[in-house]
Structure 1
């Protein structure tokens, strides 16, 4: 596993490079080939504005690659740790803050999974195709709960094209990007889209219906947040492992 010292990240979590600030505003990608894994040199995506990141803040994290590759110093590894990262959903790239003036990316084709530490909690993200091999979905998903029923949140960009009318001077000149997401439940190698609600939850967890009903009542669970859904699925998965 390559250490943080290899990338010279330093104390830069709270500081964005000038290139990154431009990327936040314009949705630029970073795709000039540098070493076979990391890239620099922003590529212009003009007239694109909006939300591109699961979390626009930088967080310490670690990465698992699909296969070992040659890293800095000539060593081969399929892992990186102690690096500073964030995921660009629009470009489907994991940005790595090498130092305050150097942002690089790992393209999705290299990524198997990554973890980001957020307020002491580790968020785990996995390539959607590694969980659902035959899916048409692209990009990464956050694993909220694992077990008999694995709950994931898949992130995707929602794009609104320009509708500017020069004759009347009305409409939007820019392409607008908004972050969108869907829940999926994976069980026995099969997946289905999940609409969070009590009725669909009880239908999904029918074998533990009474226990789930009691849990929802006791915890006043409204199923309106990732954390609440995670807790319900964790409860179900724990109980499903008991003989």
Structure 2
């Protein structure tokens, strides 16, 4: 009888020990699963970040950061003057982002004028000559939704126009891969336009586009392209071609 009681007690004790061991095992297993799952989850870009400096806005909004000597022609008279609507020989630069012309009146005195108030700006350029930047609203057609100025590269029967602008290229940083850039960047954009009279049309330079555009002088233009071989992707090449066409 004592043996039977001992045996039953032994069985119960063993069962309790086994159950406790099983519980401990399951707890550890569950803990491992949680840890494993958490490890995977933290690789999700929405749940963690990489320490480091915050992104910045790189670049500048100016067509040219250097102050250039220029003449500014306004749409209205200046101040109380009944005759003066322009400034001559003043340092200027174009802010493409704010759509303003900055005029330096002194070492620390800079005036900003909205482009809508200015008909044109004549200023020195980086090519050793003078460029005229004419208000885009002097033209119609594809110029209607634009802001700022057209740089007149060539004028005549057919105007060749360059529209400078700036846009923000957004950061492409990938948190999960820790790659790319955290910085936004101001990026310059130059678009070509052509105009007959005051009707402007966006233009993609190329031989076929040029021949279609100058179809009334096609034979002369084909001969010019063959002998002179102007680079139709460059500013100077297009300027030379349009100057030739405008003389025909």
TM-score with structure 1 setting the length: 0.71
> 1:75 aligns to what SS in structure 2?
coil
Alpha-carbon shift at residue 103 of structure 1 (Å) = 2.2
Whether contact under 8 Å (2:138, 2:198) holds in the other structure is no
Whether contact under 8 Å (1:51, 1:179) holds in the other structure is no
2:134 is aligned with 1:126: yes
- CA–CA distance in structure 2, aligned partners of residues 104 and 80 of structure 1: 13
- CA–CA distance in structure 1, aligned partners of residues 103 and 197 of structure 2: 34
Instruction: Give runs of aligned pairs for residues 6-155 of structure 1, distance below 5 A.
Output: 47-70=56-79, 74-76=80-82, 77-118=84-125, 120-132=128-140, 135-155=144-164
Deviations 1:130-165 (A, max 9, x none): 222771111111011111111100111121234456
Instruction: Give runs of aligned pairs for residues 224-235 of structure 1, distance below 5 A.
Output: 224-235=233-244
Greater percentage in strand:
1
> 1:217 aligns to what SS in structure 2?
helix
Alpha-carbon shift at residue 196 of structure 1 (Å) = 0.8
**Higher alpha-carbon Rg:** 2
Q: How many residues matched?
A: 191
Greater percentage in helix:
2
> 1:202 aligns to what SS in structure 2?
helix
- CA–CA distance in structure 2, aligned partners of residues 177 and 192 of structure 1: 26
Gaps of 5+ in 2: 1-54
- CA–CA distance in structure 2, aligned partners of residues 103 and 69 of structure 1: 17
Residue 218 (structure 1) aligns with: 227
Alpha-carbon shift at residue 87 of structure 1 (Å) = 0.6
Compare 47-56 and 200-209 and name the one that shifted more: 47-56
> 2:241 aligns to what SS in structure 1?
helix
Q: What is the aligned-residue RMSD (CA, Å)? A: 2.2
Structure 1 pair 168–53 and aligned structure 2 pair: CA distance change class (3 A): same
Compare 94-103 and 165-174 and name the one that shifted more: 165-174
TM-score with structure 2 setting the length: 0.70
Alpha-carbon shift at residue 80 of structure 1 (Å) = 0.6
Whether contact under 8 Å (2:64, 2:93) holds in the other structure is yes
Residue 194 (structure 1) aligns with: 203
Structure 1 pair 189–140 and aligned structure 2 pair: CA distance change class (3 A): closer
